[in-house]
Structure 1
Amino acid sequence: MKKNNPIQLHFCTSLGVSSLPKLLALYWSLLRHSANPFVFWVLCDGDEVYQLLFKLNLEHVRLVPLTEFEKTDVELYSVKRYRDVFEYNCTLRPCWMLYLLSCNSEIQFLTYMDTDLYFFSDPQYLYDQLDNCSVLLSEHRFSKLATRLGMTPKISGVFNAGWLAVKNDKIGHEALLWWRKRCLEWCRRFYEDGKFGEQKYLESMPELFQGAVALNRLGGNVAPWNVSDYLVSADEINRVYVDNEPLIFFHFHALQMEGEFSFKVVREVGKNVVQLTNPSYVLSGRQKQLIYKPYIAEMRRAIRLVRDIRFNKEEATIEEEAESPWNFKKMIIRTKAQLTRLRSIILYMTL
């Protein structure tokens, strides 16, 4: 699939209202960098997020209420009562993709994306391999630092479920049907008997389906769990590179920002008031400057926009969770996080 091929790209995701600022940042990054036309299918969990997106009237975005989608998949809806919100969202991922491919013959291939992704380059660079395969999977590629801190494919899986692309062909459908069946059987947020959420199943796909392969673009799915292995740089017009290859998209896992409603506010000493909620993630100054700073600026813009629309008839305030001056449980959690972060920094310095 050539880079300049004007094929229409199709993306999909699912979200509740708390993830709306992330969705907007992701959408704006696609508008900025995608040379090809695209359609972004959004599964809305709740009437509020549907109404907010409806008011925004974003070009290229097609909205589907979760309640309407659930009417088409009785098996999926039947497991909802046994899963928490996170587990159910993981369960519905292959169901949502299969539904879109089955109902829309114009989709040649479909990419699922978590809302906390953000593009720095044209997404078309990712799809050259789809000429000869049916499923593209993104590897975690855990860094040496992450490995020393205990992050391992043995638990989390070889592949990350935050980005994957499936061609609308026989093998693509078979792979999604198989994944859907596995997730309906078991999809929990913890590791058990070789399973972990919807994600661990993905590493069986290359063995079961000849057309399932790993993405070969280094700049795809760069994340805090692997970025420490790469040299991050920028050229004279601020295009970002990892090991001299264009950074295509970054997965901003475990990032919270002050002002995201429905999120417990996480504070960090410093004027940016942001931190990664996983204290094991350690970022260099260059990574923060070239990767995180642009995203944080975009997120602040998105938060303000959502706040203005959400509270257009009321004062635009966000109630933060008040912390008591003395809470032993919170103190223990905070202390453990600080110790973990200190350990990560020490290991980072010894690499």
Structure 2
Amino acid sequence: MKIAFTICSNNYLSQAKTLLDSMQLLASDYVFYIFLVDEYSSEIDYDFFKPANIVLAKDLPIDFNSLKEKYNIIELNTCIKASCFKYVFEHNSDAVHAHYFDPDIEIFNSLNYLDENFNEYDFLITPHISKILPWGSKEPNENLFLNHGLYNLGYIGLKGNSVKVNEMLNWWENRTLNYGFYRLERGLFVDQLWINYVPIYYPKETKILFHFGCNMGPWNLHERELNYVNNQYIVNEDYPLVFFHFSSYKYSNPNVISNNYRYDFKTNPELISIYNSYNEKIQKNKIEVLSKVSCAYFNNKPSINFLKRIVQYMEVALFKLKYYLNPM
């Protein structure tokens, strides 16, 4: 059995459905899970997301109540990733491997390339960038990844029935459930920054994927050129596009690839078609309705830790302000 899953709140279900649709088209032999960091909403017909298995995050064997008190919505959605891996492996003992994809990813090719790597490796990760990035006045610059992580956790693949994977998941889960904050000034960035250690802790078991068709996104456009050839997307003339990460894309502002980034459709016109197509798909999957459904955990009166969150936000804002006033 092969597993793939994503994590989101109700407001990101249209993106998750688009990911699911692409999986059904190109990787239908996978069992697909959506871990919902939210309560079921009367505004949503969850049959729309079949055949995905929807699991409520609060039903994971963790102290979810304390997590929703101390974390904001981004931290809460990311801190459970290791716990979700443990869940799918424990509930599917015959799972040979599992892939995590962010909900705003779309699959464009078979996942065979990813799967074949599990013949030799236990961990699959993708770097944000793999070629020198010229310094610019807008993001991204290389220091962005020193703060947020060398590897993009919009994707990670893990082998099933692996002692090393089990060990890593126990470590990673401990770190993210306890220290999964978005606090750059403390050297913390949710679940992602911790993964810098995986190739160090598990050098023989880790495969860093330098395939340019894997996890193409708005941070690595300086090294990847996309073209549509013979009914498929090709990167740098040689690499079939396996999956594209539409990170930070807003359907309501379709002419912007990502806010504050140096790349746009004028400098990268070859991206217009893939983004237009994605916009059509998420619109079809009810993004105008679903994106307006507030997360149940952040829609009520302030929790007892509300002031702590305010302090955290102020610290992060101050850290960013200091950087922008005095860059490098």
TM-score bracket relative to the smaller structure: 0.7 to 0.9
Residue 57 of structure 2: which of 61, 66, 73 is its match? Answer: 66
**What residue number does 1:275 align with?**
256
Equivalents in 2 of 1:281, 1:181: separation in Å? 36
CA pair 187-47 structure 1, distance change in 2 beyond 3 A: closer
Residue 169 of structure 2: which of 150, 168, 176 is its match? Answer: 176
Equivalents in 2 of 1:146, 1:33: separation in Å? 36
Matched, 1:252 2:252: no
Residue 294 of structure 1: which of 272, 277, 296 is its match? Answer: 277
Q: Spell out the pairing of 1:162-241 with structure 2 (5 A cutoff).
A: 162-168=154-160, 169-209=162-202, 210-237=204-231, 239-241=232-234
Q: What do the CA deviations read for 1:143-189 (whole angstroms, capped 9, x no partner)? A: 65575343433112111111001111111111111111111231112
Q: Share of identical aligned residues, percent?
A: 20
Give the gaps of 5 or more residues in structure 2: 294-323
CA pair 11-78 structure 1, distance change in 2 beyond 3 A: same
Kindly state the Cα deviation for residue 127 of structure 1 after the two structures are TM-superposed. Answer: 2.1
Bigger relative contact order (CA 8 A; separation at least 6) = 2
Q: Spell out the pairing of 1:121-200 with structure 2 (5 A cutoff).
A: 121-141=109-129, 147-148=135-136, 149=139, 150-152=141-143, 153-168=145-160, 169-200=162-193
Q: Which has the larger radius of gyration?
A: 1
SS class of match (1:42): strand
Equivalents in 1 of 2:113, 2:24: separation in Å? 15
**What residue number does 1:33 align with?**
26
Residue 106 of structure 2: which of 85, 103, 118 is its match? Answer: 118
Equivalents in 2 of 1:68, 1:51: separation in Å? 21
Kindly state the Cα deviation for residue 30 of structure 1 after the two structures are TM-superposed. Answer: 1.3
Equivalents in 1 of 2:36, 2:218: separation in Å? 27
Kindly state the Cα deviation for residue 58 of structure 1 after the two structures are TM-superposed. Answer: 1.3
Give the gaps of 5 or more residues in structure 1: 1-7, 259-266, 268-272, 311-339, 341-351
Aligned residue identity for 2:233: V
SS class of match (1:203): helix
**What residue number does 1:81 align with?**
69
Tell me the TM-score normalized by structure 2.
0.78
Q: What do the CA deviations read for 1:208-238 (whole angstroms, capped 9, x no partner)? A: 123122124221000011023222212132x
Equivalents in 2 of 1:147, 1:201: separation in Å? 25
Q: Which moved more, 1:200-209 or 1:274-283?
A: 274-283
Equivalents in 1 of 2:46, 2:179: separation in Å? 34
Q: Spell out the pairing of 1:328-339 with structure 2 (5 A cutoff).
A: none
Aligned residue identity for 1:160: N
Tell me the TM-score normalized by structure 1.
0.73
8 Å Cα contact 1:26/1:119 also seen in 2: yes
Matched, 1:12 2:5: yes
